[in-house]
Amino acid sequence: MDLLSNVLLSLKVESTVISEWRLSAPWGVDIRDFSPGFCMTLIEGYCWFYAPGHPPQKLSRGDTLLAPRGGVCALASAPDSALASLSEVWQQPTFEGLDTEHRPSAPVRVEWGAGGEETQLLGLAFTFQGRGRNLLLDVLPEFIVLRSVDNGVFPGVESAVALLQAEREETKPGYFAVAKLLAEMTFVSLLRAFIQSEPHHPIGWLRGLGDEKVAKALEAMHAKPASPWTVPVLASTAGMSRSAFAARFTHLVGQPPIEYLISWRVQLASELLSATRHPIPVIAQMLGFQSDRVFRQAFKQRAGVSPLNHRKHGATPAETIPETG
């Protein structure tokens, strides 16, 4: 499996909601009290997007705004339109949020505005499993705009949005299961399109992926995270000397090779703690940590909580293996 697929597959949607927006000019929505990630696709009409530190951008039919980690921004019919808060526009008294306890059972429909020219948006909000940092989300821009003119190059995006648009009309049993799968498909398609179309990524594993030698080491660590990797072994995998490899890897990825490896192991551990009932010492052993103590220290340092607390507040475990030793 290639490195990009490996990392994209690590993104597992926890909860999601599909929304259909019908907005009539003049209108404006201030998005600052909504923490999940989200994307908005223009189905009809146009709108303006602006955010702190970003120049205003006009979005046209077929364009998509993606906020992988959420963020403060505004959408409006014109740059000078008055803004209403998201909670005021949303007007959904039965919507309680997105997490393991609140999983919407039907699409949400939003209507707002003063009765002028209409804009239609297809919205998707999502949270991901696991509460630790994610190597992919951490290196992505706060906001990503994908233009409709690029959809011909990335047909997966257009197909995903079309399926999502069809599901917005559904209120039949099984909605959440279908919506969850469509959310993952749409999000992964959008990210893949962005990653493949962006020639210059900031420091991080995405930048390392563009370097033939560093990419070999990254792919090796992702393919076998539990292996007893050392800098000399990784340098040999990359076809470089130890010192040249260490310097090049750190320059491109932003952290030394072994630090990156530990971060990836911790992310995998986060998923296992949320999705399984494997004992913590077993997870440590599965991922190549020298001891349970070393694992706990590394996990708390990077995730901010202990493995036990992460498990208590994560998703409901679904799998059990017996205690060993």
State whether CATH 1.10.640.10 applies to domain 205-313: no
SS3 285: helix
Q: What is the chain's length? A: 325
- For tokens 């696991």, what's the residue? 130
Task: Burial-class residue 237 by CB neighbours within 10 Å (0-12, 13-18, 19+).
Answer: middle
What per-residue confidence (pLDDT) applies to 77? 96
CB atoms within 10 A of CB 133: 14
Q: Which helix (H) or strand (E) holds 223?
A: helix 212-223
| Token pair listed for 221 | 């660590």
Contacting residues for 156 by C-beta, under 8 A, at least 6 apart? 189, 192, 193
Burial string for 276-297 (b: 16+ CB within 10 Å, else e) reads bebbbbbbbbbbbbeebeebbe
Domain boundaries, the chain: 3-197, 205-313
pTM exceeds 0.85: no
Tell me the one-letter amino acid at 185: M
Q: Token digits for 253?
A: 């990825």
For the chain (325 residues), the mean pLDDT of every run of 10, in chain order, is: 77 78 94 84 94 92 90 94 88 53 69 93 81 70 83 55 64 72 80 78 83 93 95 97 97 95 93 89 95 95 91 53 38
| Cβ(110)–Cβ(183) below 8 Å | no
Contact in structure between 108 and 121 (CB atoms under 8 Å): no
Separation of first and last alpha carbons in the chain: 33
CATH code of domain 3-197: 2.60.120.280
Q: What is the pLDDT of residue 315?
A: 39
